[in-house]
Each structure stands twice: as C-alpha cells, then as structure tokens.
Amino acid sequence: MVQQITQQYNNNGIDLPPNVALLNNDNSYVVTTGHQLCLFGGPQYFIHKIVSVIKLCQTLKKEFPTLEFIPLFWLASEDHDFEEISEAHIYRSTLKINTELKGAVGRMPASIFDKAYSELSELVGEKSTLLESLFGKAVTKGTLAQATTKWVHNLFKEYNLVILDGDDKTLKKSFASVMKNELFDGKSFQSINETSKKLIEKGYKAQVTPREINLFYIKENLRERIVENNHKFEVLNTSISFTKEEILKELESHPERFSPNSIFRPVYQEFILPNLAYIGGPGELAYWLQLKSNFKRLEVPFPILTLRDLVIVTDAKTIEIIDELKLQLKDLFENEDDIVKKYLKNNATTHVEFENEYKALVELKEKVIEKIEPINKSLVGMVESEFVKMKKGIEHINQKTQRSIKQKEEIKINKIKNLRAKIAPNGKLAERKYNFIPNYLKSPTNYLSNLISVSNTFVNEIKVLLQ
C-alpha cells in the first residue's frame, strides 16, 4: 500500500505527505472517507467529510499519543455515474459538463472540465486569482482522478491528507483472491440479503441491492456488470464473454479490469487499508451496515462507522435576521408555508386568530337552540343552517385577514424564503447542494481551520460556522 501511494504521488508530480512513511509502522491506523470525483467537489459536504476525518485524527492523537492516525481520502474513481458528478452550484449559477465518454469517470481526461473552469473564472471575477493556487492547471490536465488528487492535495496539504486511488493494478492484484471468491462463490449476495432482511424487519430501509456477482468489467470507455449465464461469464451490453478458465486467466493477467461495485468497494477498501474508522453521511452508513455480515464471512475487519459533521456555513448577519424574525435555524428545514405561519403566529402585530369567535359562535348557537327547541323542534335545523353560514362568513373574514397580513408582511416573508433557500434549500442542508468555493473565497487562509475548529464527530448535532 505504501509503495502504491508513493508511486501514485510520483506519477501526479506532487509531494508525498510525510505521514505516509508512518504507515509502515505497526502502531499506525488510518481514518478514511471517500467520495465521487465531482466537478470542483460538487456539494460542499465533499469538504466536510474530509474535515471530519482530519479532526478525528487530531482528537485521537491527543487521546492516544503513542499511536499514529493518518487521515486518508479514497477516490471513488471507478464510479461510472457521470450525471452525478457533472455539475456544481456556485453562487446562483449551475456549472455543468457534458461528455459522450463512458466508463470509469476517473479514467476520463480532465480536459472535459476546461469549459466549466473558464466559466468559474468568469463567475468569481477578480477573485479568480485565488483559485489559481488551488486548481491552477491541475483541474484540466491528465485524468480526472489525477486532477482531483492534485487540487484536493493543494487544498489539504497543510493537514497531511493522504489521497489514494483504488483503481490501481497492484492493489487489485493483492485483492484478486477475494474477487475470485466473488466470481465463483456467490455468497455475498446471500449474506447481504440476510442482513438486509433483518434490518427491514426492524423498520429500516435497505439502501442497496446486492447482485449475484458484485463486480464490473472495465476498459477504455467501458464499465459494465459481469453476470453468469449458462456457465459463461458475460459483460452486459457487450459481446465480451469468458469461460471459467478464461476469466480466471483475465483476473490473473489484468486485475485492473475488474471493478468492485458499491456493495463490494467497501470490502476492497478495508482489505487494503489499516483502517480504524470510516466517516460517511447518513445514507452511506446505512448501506455499510447491510454489508457487515459479508465482511465477517470474508474475514475482512469491519471499521467503526462514524457520522460525518453536518455543517451550516453562514454569517452573523443571517443569524441576526433569523433572531429578529423570532425563528430558529431548525425552523428553516420545515415546509415554507409552515415557517411563514410560525413567523406570523410569533409576531404580536400579525397574530390574528378567530378561535374565540368560533367558540363564542358555538356557545350562542347552543343557547338559541336551548330556547327554541321546547317551543318548536322543527326550527332547530334552520338554526343549525344559519349558524353554518355564519361560521363560513367568519372563515371568509379570516382568509381575507390572513391575506392582508401576508401582503403587509411581504418584505419579511420574502426574507424568510431567501433564508430558507440559503440555509435549507428544499428543506435540506445547503451543504448538500451548494459548492464550497464561495465560502472558501471569503476567507481562503482560514476556511479549513475554521471548519476544523467546529468539527466534532462525537457530537451528533448540526455544527454552525459563522464566517
């Protein structure tokens, strides 16, 4: 592993983090996260995952000073869902790339980002010089995996983040016996389905569906599933097929042509790494739990699963506006109409309700019925009908009143809508949509250190960073 990390850094022309040498020692562990090779990182939680890993390593080193903890980022370079990595939301713009290329995205030429990088430079204007030290020419040179390695290294080099690309012939050669087991045994499918069934019985949702063979076959512009059909191993959507003997020979000669899917990639990752913990988002950790029994079957150590930091990056002025509106940050994750109703209800000048009037109307109706019923019961129905009309009249007045209040409070209601779009677009954390670059450009020298200061994966709550 150390040999291949060193070779990858040499091939990328970047300095090897000094802590890589520590991986030769028995007292060293890594803490890991991974992600797809999104355009400029994609949503900003790409950065928050890595920050979580760095902070956890720092915390563990203080608690266990005789041990070494190395933060490691695993490039998901063999992923082939190009649509998922193809855009970045920066300021109010969406930068997007298109290509006819297929296969593992990490093997695609980084030059497909050329146009998007030019658009980014125009978008940030005079601040584009600040991006030169981060992206420079790295973002459009070599493969997409190499370009991502370079700019992530540039951003985190102060913290000695180690970056590893699993799409590596030597590393896969060491994993070949496990891939052979996956090709011929088929027990991953059975094992994961049994675990999934137990989780479903306890009320959890299965996040991933295993295949009978959880491997892809990859070549230039190709990454397709391997399936067994009539005692032959076929590559879907191609004319490629192998006998048992042929696929064994292919695995031995070209292990780099075999790619674990999302079910099997964690096994490959943990087989390679001396990993203590894997840090991921809620969805990631949910699907890792489905895989635990398969790790046990294959005798591969299962890591401690740790939820990444969930972070809101905002400014003091925004918090001040939220306070003025008598709302809380958590309110912004509710339905937009419900937030407006809560604001109007909390505001003494706009809180107009007709509950007492409705109550008084019911009491009046009962008194009228009490008086007329002994005289003529047939009049009760008429009374009921008249009071239904009166209730509808009050409801109509209420609707008109609420509409007038909203018109009067339009400026503040628009503020609420803008706040929600900024903090919780569509009711989800902004980190899941917006890119990190605008926050980085506000404070390029302190951006990461400030994020690390609020990071704490031992505290399961949303962190707030004020810029």
DSSP string, 154-220: HHHGGGT-EEEES--HHHHHHTHHHHHHHHHT-HHHHHHHHHHHHHHHTTPPP-----SS-EEEEET
Query: Hey, CA dihedral for 249, 252, 258, 263, is it positive or negative?
Result: positive
pLDDT for residue 331: 92
The Cα 195–Cα 197 span in angstroms is 5
CA distances from 280 to 57, 199, 286 (A): 15, 19, 9
In 118-257, the DSSP E strands lie at 162-165, 215-219, 222-229, 232-235, 241-242
**CB of 21 closer than 8 Å to CB of 185:** no
DSSP string, 22-50: GGGSTTEEEEEEEE---GGGSSTHHHHHH
Task: Identify the bridge partners of residue 217 per DSSP, sorted by sequence position.
Answer: 224, 258
* pTM score: 0.86
**Closest to 260 measured CA to CA, from 210, 307, 296, 297:** 210
**CB of 137 closer than 8 Å to CB of 111:** no
The Cα 103–Cα 433 span in angstroms is 25
- E strand or H helix at 75, and its extent? strand 68-75
**CB of 431 closer than 8 Å to CB of 463:** no
3-state SS assignment for residue 226: strand
Q: What count of other Cβ atoms lies within 10 Å of the Cβ of residue 170? A: 13
Per-domain boundaries in the chain = 2-169+261-310, 316-429
The Cα 6–Cα 16 span in angstroms is 7
Residue 344 C-alpha from the chain's centroid: 34
Residue 128 C-alpha from the chain's centroid: 27
Strand pairing class (222-229; 215-219): antiparallel
Q: Which CATH architecture has domain 2-169+261-310?
A: 3-Layer(aba) Sandwich (3.40)
355 contact partners, CB below 8 Å, separation of at least 6:
none
Which residue type is seen at 422?
K
The Cα 293–Cα 191 span in angstroms is 6
Which residue type is seen at 185?
D
The Cα 303–Cα 292 span in angstroms is 9
For the chain (467 residues), the mean pLDDT of every run of 10, in chain order, is 96 94 95 95 96 98 97 95 92 91 92 90 90 78 92 95 97 96 88 86 83 93 93 94 96 96 93 96 89 92 96 94 90 91 72 73 82 82 84 81 71 87 93 95 94 96 93
